[in-house]
């Protein structure tokens, strides 16, 4: 069994962005609201963003030797798939901003063509690629990928 977890960089990036999000709310709010109200809104926004960075993106995946694939979020199984009954693919889009953003959507298609999409960006590109290659060993052939490429800084 192989386990693939989100990267530390993903969590640290979210924790760095959280205070700046709160500061932006505080500064924008000062145009219309009193400073104490803006401070509460800014702190609340920073707390929500920090919570999201720590807990909401807390995902990991398992691929068993028999082709079972499990998706966990916050330590609880969200979905289980028998890969020999699925086609797999992904969509990846990378943008380079201040801290970069990597969107990776894992797509699983069952035998009836129903699609399940899972956000796998917190894994990072290298871990996702390793996981996808492991999954391809068990999934129905003719997997589909779409790489939107990197948007370079102007």
Of 97, 17, 25, whose CA–CA distance to 52 is shortest?
Answer: 17
In total, the chain counts a number of residues equal to: 154
Sign of CA dihedral 139, 141, 146, 147: positive
Instruction: Please write the tens of the pLDDT for every residue from 31-80.
Output: 899 999 999 999 999 999 888 877 777 888 999 988 899 999 888 999 99
15 Cβ partners below 8 Å, 6+ apart?
50, 53, 54
25 band by pLDDT with thresholds 50, 70 and 90: very high
Q: Could you report the per-residue pLDDT of 101-154, keeping only the tens digit for each?
A: 678 899 999 888 899 999 888 888 888 889 999 999 888 876 555 555 544 444
Between these two residues, 96 and 46, which has the higher pLDDT value? 46
């Amino acid at each position: 069994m192989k386990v693939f977890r989100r990267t530390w960089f993903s969590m640290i990036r979210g924790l760095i962005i959280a205070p700046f999000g709160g500061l932006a709310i505080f500064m924008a709010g000062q145009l219309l609201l009193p400073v104490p109200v803006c401070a509460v809104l800014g702190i609340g926004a920073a707390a929500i963003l920090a919570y999201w960075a720590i807990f909401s993106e807390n995902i990991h995946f398992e691929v068993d030797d028999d082709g079972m694939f499990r998706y966990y979020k916050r330590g609880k199984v969200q979905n289980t798939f028998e890969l020999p009954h699925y086609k797999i693919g992904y969509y990846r889009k990378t943008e380079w901003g201040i801290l970069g953003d990597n969107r990776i959507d894992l797509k699983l298609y069952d035998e009836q063509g129903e699609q399940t999409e899972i956000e796998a960006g917190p894994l990072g590109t290298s871990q996702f690629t390793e996981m996808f290659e492991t999954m391809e060993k068990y999934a129905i052939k003719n997997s589909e990928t779409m790489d939107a490429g990197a948007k370079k800084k102007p």
